[in-house]
Amino acid sequence: MDDHSYEVNKSDEDSKYKEFLEMTRAQLVDFLSARGQSVSGGKMSLAALAYKAWENGNPLKLTTQKHQDNLQQEYATILSDNGITDPLQLPAEQWSKDAIDKWPLVDMGKIFSYILKSSDFTADFVGKYKTQKAYSYFASKFVGPLWWTQLPHKDDFSFITGEVTPSQSVRGECHKPWLYI
């Protein structure tokens, strides 16, 4: 790179920094907040942070609504790609409470095989499942009654769902995870 091109780039950078210096504190806070950056400090400090964020090309953060929309779209795509009916849209009368006798057969060997094949678990986990967090949540009644339904036109597949109390927010709304088996 020759000295002249450096001066042109340096000049552009200086003018951009001056633009940030001319912004109001509120504008700087908006610029930084939209990129998930710190908004504490005086105007000069915020201008420097904004310039740094611009120079580094920090992207805009998704709004909560946009993030929720993306998650909903991803959820719908996964269901569609796998030909699965959304269990959250099935009518309540289609579900049976604690219908364990209708659940597909899953023996302990299959569970242990999954645990041992999964890279997240070790052989020690198999013998110590009662000491793990999931079991303690179950024993503490964080997991409510389980519900089962069979899918129409798919006799081999069914859903199991239940209400799970969030561990960090016991008074919050329950999660409703589901399992397609």
pLDDT, tens only, 10-20: 567 778 889 99
* Predicted confidence (pLDDT) at residue 108 exceeds the cutoff of 50: yes
pTM of this prediction exceeds 0.85: no
Find the helix or strand (DSSP H, E) in which 66 lies: helix 64-81
End-to-end alpha-carbon separation of the chain, Å? 61
pLDDT reported for residue 8: 36
Alpha carbons 126 and 95: distance in angstroms, whole number = 32
Mapping DSSP onto H, E and C, the string for 87-135 reads HHHCCHHHCEECCHHHCCCCCHHHHHHHHHHCCCCCHHHHHCHHHCHHH
User: For 126-161, what is each residue's pLDDT tens digit?
Assistant: 666 666 677 777 778 888 888 999 876 777 788 989
pLDDT reported for residue 3: 40
Q: How long a stretch of residues is the chain?
A: 181
The average confidence (pLDDT) of the chain is 80
> Quick check: 32 and 53 in contact, CB under 8 A?
yes
User: Residue 172: pLDDT band by 50, 70, 90 thresholds?
Assistant: confident
- The HSE-up count of residue 168 (CA atoms within 13 Å, CB side) is 0
User: For 59-85, what is each residue's pLDDT tens digit?
Assistant: 888 777 788 888 999 999 999 998 888
Higher pLDDT, 9 or 170: 170
Alpha carbons 154 and 130: distance in angstroms, whole number = 34
* Predicted confidence (pLDDT) at residue 52 exceeds the cutoff of 70: yes
